[in-house]
Amino acid sequence: MCGLLGLLTARADAAGRTGSIAGALRCARHRGPDESGTWNDAEVVFGFNRLSVIDVEHSHQPLHWSPDHGPNPRYSIVFNGEIYNYLELRDELRQQYGVSFTTQGDTEAIVAAYHYWGPAAVGRLRGMFAFLIWDSHQRVLFGARDPFGIKPLFMAAGPAGVAFGSEKKSLLELAPSLGLGNPAADLDPAALHHYLLMQYVPEPATLHRSIRRVESGTYFTVRPGGEVEQERYFTPTFHSGAAGGSSALHSRIADVLSDSVAKHMRADVTVGAFLSGGIDSTAIAALAKQHNPNLITFTTGFEREGYSEVDVAAESAAAIGVRHVVRTVKPDEMMAALPLIVWYLDDPVADPALVPLWFIAREARQHVKVVLSGEGADELFGGYTIYREPLSLAPFEKVPGAVRGLLGRASTRLPEGMRGKDLLRRGALPLEQRYYGNARIFRDDQLAGVLRQYDPRRSHTDITAAHYRDSQGWDPVARMQHVDLFTWLRGDILVKADKMTMANSLELRVPFLDPEVFAVASGLPLSEKLAEGTTKYALRQALQGIVPPHVLHRRKLGFPVPIRLWLRDEMYVWARDIIRDSQADHLVDLAAVQRMLDAHREGPIDHSRRIWTLLVFLLWHGIFVEQRIRPEVPEPAYPVRL
């Protein structure tokens, strides 16, 4: 787990760019504090910050390799992530091609696999990854990103070359070297629109128009002076299997998840686990305990009643027999830390849960170097309560289209916050119009009141339409899952997981997001997702005897943060000052934002999520555009508590 940086020049002047790379690496030092290095030839500069997890004493990067291990290596690679089947890949390459390895790590397995299998090697990797390989014989740069988008990879292209990096802020530093000028002066209005709709910037965009993201499940090639050519190697596809319950199916889920956890435990350093009060993280921790009897688990919460799973998590930790560490977060801590957290994020993500995640990651890093977590289970197994919406809205499907339209128009005349208003509005819309992921922050009519450059032609369908086209004929829940894999999961869930843990030089692994687990989950019929009044039915059945009973059928709480209450009380003045000091009035109507804050304080309408989304953007703008806010970024230092 590390931070990579690569620059392919268009002018064969890479030697003169090493200073720029070294400076840009400083922006990503938190991703890999153990060692740092750069390398170049005439056309390529690589930089790397390493967090040593596997083959700690060797596998230094950039790593250079040839099949004959001669003095002039053909390939050079920088790689961020972990390949969990690297031992199996190394054995296969030895047996099939007689490959000899000089390290014990997974990085060498990637480059050897690429040499013998070409781009098809990417589909053989079971793990999380973003990597760049320079082939000095063919003079081509090859790179790829993992199937689900667990690890980030940003890209910027200009007249002087193209650069790739784990951190967008590193590419902002390199912009002059690429001939891009000042990217901060060229924000993407469509990306801002979608951020305010969804609370994150959907891939492949970023708020800086000149910097993009390499999409999940794709690989690419680029030659000096050429265009980046991308190809998708993985598209998640749901195909419903036979209806009805099956003990064999449930056993298969348990087996494949157990195998995934076993492989995710591979490390030469201590591995812990995050533990909430939910079934997903509890399952991962219980299975991890089988491989590490001294497992440490970590949880976070708040002192507000109803906004903490600390007690349930502690009960789970006791039931599975692990040492447990708790970190309680207070509102003054959140306010003080948020500017630094936004700096780590690169682009704004308005999920309040990422703040306590940053605190518990900082606590966990005092004890371990790697943690397992439960991200991805809801998207794969049908765990979100909103997936039940097609069932609750089924009566509307029987209503003629014209009547449904009348119901939708009638909903607009009902008072804001009135019970049933949103049900009527959503029931009047087809799935493709009403569902664009788990976060729905601003409706179009609300957005028009705060966004200066509001364009009614922009819509969430700009992001979701292609995914709905790809899922035609599937049941509605599978279509919602498909949309979430391309939007909510990789735009919010995985961004906050990566950014908040790597901010603390902590590697986070997600065993649910494994190709073998997905292969089983993708074939579940609807009856194995939603049944007996619950979600994730098949997973719950599979985890009987693994997860403690008090968690197995517990209602999903998520990870609520009490911003609704805090913005009316402890955080009001802080929020008012952010609005007052911002210089983003040309983008957002700051007076309207203040009115929204005051209306929220007075009640009864809850504007907290919309206010938080705007506050995070205003902080982001103050850091990356105005450069008025300059968080003090600490040097990575982790004394271990025994």
Q: Name residue, tokens 């319950």.
A: 245
Element (H, E) at 230: strand 229-232
The phi and psi torsions of 118 (rounded to 5 degrees) equal 65, -155
The verdict on whether 27 is a catalytic residue reads: no
Q: What is the separation, in whole angstroms, between the first and last Cα of the chain?
A: 23
Half-sphere exposure (Cβ direction) of 465: Cα atoms closer than 13 Å: 5
Question: Which of 1, 2, 172, 543 is flagged as catalytic?
Answer: 2
Strands laid side by side in the 35-40 sheet: 35-40, 44-50, 2-9, 161-165, 154-158, 211-213
Closest-CA residue to 310 (of 356, 271, 344): 356
Residue 473's Cβ-count burial label (10 Å; 0-12, 13-18, 19+) is: exposed
Q: What residues does 299 pair with on adjacent strands?
A: 326
The span from the CA of 300 to the CA of 295, in Å, is 17
Q: Are 299 and 361 in contact (CB under 8 A)?
A: no
Q: Report the amino acid identity of residue 52.
A: S
Cβ-proximal residues to 599 (8 Å cutoff; 6+ apart), any chain = 605, 607
Tally of helices (H runs) and strands (E runs) in the chain: 28, 17
Reduced to 3 states, what is the DSSP secondary structure of residue 597? Answer: helix
Element (H, E) at 610: helix 608-624
Element (H, E) at 48: strand 44-50
Reduced to 3 states, what is the DSSP secondary structure of residue 248? Answer: helix
The span from the CA of 113 to the CA of 92, in Å, is 10
Half-sphere exposure (Cβ direction) of 632: Cα atoms closer than 13 Å: 2
Please report, for residues 47, 158, 479, the alpha-carbon distance to residue 162 in angstroms, rounded to integers and kept in the order given.
14, 6, 36
Q: Are 82 and 67 in contact (CB under 8 A)?
A: no
Q: Are 49 and 3 in contact (CB under 8 A)?
A: yes
Q: What is the 3-state secondary structure (H, E, C) of 492-552?
A: HHHHHHHHHHHCCCCEEECCCCCHHHHHHHCCCCHHHCCECCECCHHHHHHCECCECHHHH
The span from the CA of 603 to the CA of 474, in Å, is 42
The residues assigned a catalytic role are 2
